[in-house]
Amino acid sequence: MKHIVAIIIISFLTFTMKSQAQGCVAIKGTAGICSKPADAKGWDMNLNNRYFKSYKHFVGTAEQKQREADGSNVINHAYELDITATRTINLRWSLAMTLPVMDYSRSSLYEHDGATRHTTHSFGIGDARVSAYRWMFDPKTSHKGNIQLGLGIKLPTGSYNYMDYFFKKKDSSILGPVDQSIQPGDGGTGLTFEFNSFYNFTHRFGAYGSFFYLVNPREVNGTSTTRGSAASAIAKKYNTDVMSVPDLFMTRAGVSYMVKGFNFSGGVRVEGLPSKDLIGGSRGFRRPGYIISAEPGITYMHKKTSFNLNIPIALKRCRTQSDSDKRRSADTGTHVQGDAAFADYLISAGITFKL
């Protein structure tokens, strides 16, 4: 039974190492992990890789298909390696430390001369996180189900003012901060709250659910959004000349089935960036929105090592109104709502092994 519990938990918890929205909605890799019930103290190491390509633009839930047709769409390629070390203290308590490594690129017309597509890049570590977790029921007796709560701190270790060159004129370039969606960090110190749960209906079939929220009290990080140019009067008035430090969230739920060392899972995943933060102000430039995805996955466990692969496939993508959009709408009497580019799917693959 202990092995069944472990496999079912690994099937979804190794997939939740990080959460990153699939596109310009700038959700950095900070979503939760948690450890499985263990019989002994020790360390677990997880290496998790994620990749996506965002290129489809949405305003609300309406896809802006003309952007692809006329070649004016923004294309983001995002790769992230998350390195997580988890220390099991006892059957109930564990600590986890995560350090992400980011490699992003972004090609567009509008950020440059408007006529020729150019690409900006960023590379480096992201925002690190340290978290504590506790199983709320005794794992020795709660074999069929359990709940784990987590509390952590996110540190501003990633660069939030990464710079590259923008080509505003032929044969000339300007150095400026890259777009918010490819900045390795957000510049804020935040708190993370997590809820993870599972329930086994039989020795093969189970269900899972999890929720993660990052609270970022800092309102703006001071990084310019003008890409080396001067800010417009409109941008200054509505505070979009500097980048916001937003909250983010993710929730997942589904079922899993185990057979011969393999665990197959399927569920729904919702992740997003709200237009209004729980604590602190919500001004500054941000692209709020959310993605609802179907999330199939497979995990193989052999002795002290597990391998996982999951591919969330977007079902619904929505770019909601930001704080500045709402204020401009109120001032002008005309509905204002920006756009964002999203991906069709996300590829996540990793390995977890006990040290």
Segment 9-56, tens digit of pLDDT: 333 333 333 444 455 554 555 444 444 555 568 999 999 999 999 999
**226: its two tokens:** 């003008």
At residue 172 the predicted structure's pLDDT band, cuts being 50, 70 and 90, is: confident
Reported as a single tens digit per residue, the pLDDT across 223-250 is 999 999 999 999 999 999 999 999 999 9
Read off the pLDDT of each residue in 125-137 and give the average, rounded to a whole number.
97
Place of tokens 């070649």: 71
The mean pLDDT value for 108-127 works out to 96
- SS3 string, 117-169, reads CEEEEEEEECCCEEEEEEECCCCCCCCCEEEEEEEEEECCCCCCCCEEEEEEE
- Predicted confidence at residue 171, as pLDDT, reads 80
Closest Cα partner for 273 from 325, 212, 329?
A: 212
User: Residue 3's pLDDT is what?
Assistant: 39
| Interatomic CA distance for residues 111 and 59, integer angstroms | 19
d(CA 177, CA 231): 13
- CA-to-CA separations, 141 to 87, 88, 183, 194, 355, in angstroms, rounded: 22, 18, 45, 23, 26
Q: Is the pLDDT of residue 85 over 70?
A: yes
Q: What is the CATH number of the domain that holds 116?
A: 2.40.128.130
Single pTM value for the model: 0.90
Lowest-confidence segment of 12-26, 169-183, 249-263 by average pLDDT: 12-26
Q: Which residue is listed with tokens 């150095």?
A: 175
How far apart are the C-alpha atoms of 67 and 62, rounded to whole Å?
A: 12
- Split into its structural domains, the chain has a count of 1
Q: Kindly state the average pLDDT of the residues 109-135.
A: 96
350: which strand partners? 48, 308
Rounded CA separation 254/96 (Å): 24
Residue 96's SS3 state is: strand
CA–CA distances in Å: residue 89 to residues 92, 131, 193, 257: 8, 13, 20, 29
Domain of residue 69: give its range.
2-354
DSSP string, 311-334: --EEEEEEEPPPHHHHHHHHHHSS
Question: What is the percent of the chain where pLDDT is above 70?
Answer: 89
In angstroms, the first-to-last Cα distance of the chain is 23
The answer on pLDDT for 328 being more than 70 is yes
Whether the pLDDT of residue 310 is over 50: the answer is yes
Looking at the DSSP bridge assignments, the partners of residue 189 are: none
Q: What is the mean pLDDT of residues 320-328?
A: 97
CA dist., res. 180 & res. 191, Å (int)? 21
Separation CA 275–CA 290 (nearest Å): 10
Residue 100 has pLDDT above 80, yes or no: yes
- Percentage of the chain with pLDDT > 90? 85
* pLDDT tens readout for residues 278-299: 999 999 999 999 999 999 999 9
- State mean pLDDT over 191-213: 96
Give the pLDDT of residue 37: 57
